[in-house]
Amino acid sequence: MGFIVRGPIVYRPIDLSPMVDESTIVKTVAANVRKARKALNLSQEELAFEAGLDRTYISQVERAKRNMTIVVLARLATALRTSPERLIAAPRKGAS
């Protein structure tokens, strides 16, 4: 990778390869929300009510069709009695 020089500023290209792509994160959150909801024995409608969202929104989240804001992530985490970090965490290798 080369450097880009613009006047007195030198830019170094960023290697994005170690970053997780957006669709993987959305799918991970979708699976974690569904798993947490089922662990609490909540319907999508009940979760939606607790989080102040529409049931169809919860359905879209769980199907990875919705890229939510961090505010909505926090509301879901609160309703699911967990943390936002747990909802975005990728499953550990070997865990089911």
- What are the boundaries of each domain within the chain? 22-85
Q: CA of 62: how far to CAs of 1, 5, 26, 81, in Å? A: 39, 45, 9, 17
* pLDDT tens-digit series, residues 2-60: 666 677 777 676 665 555 678 899 999 999 999 999 999 999 999 999 999 999 999 99
* pLDDT tens-digit series, residues 75-92: 999 999 999 999 999 877
Give the list of residues 6+ apart from residue 50 with CB closer than 8 angstroms, or none.
Answer: 42, 79
Q: CA of 26: how far to CAs of 23, 41, 75, in Å? A: 5, 22, 16
Domain 22-85: give its CATH architecture.
Answer: Orthogonal Bundle (1.10)
Sign of CA pseudo-dihedral 57, 59, 60, 64: positive
Instruction: Report the pLDDT averaged over residues 58-79.
Output: 97
pLDDT at 39: 98
Q: What is the pTM of this model?
A: 0.77
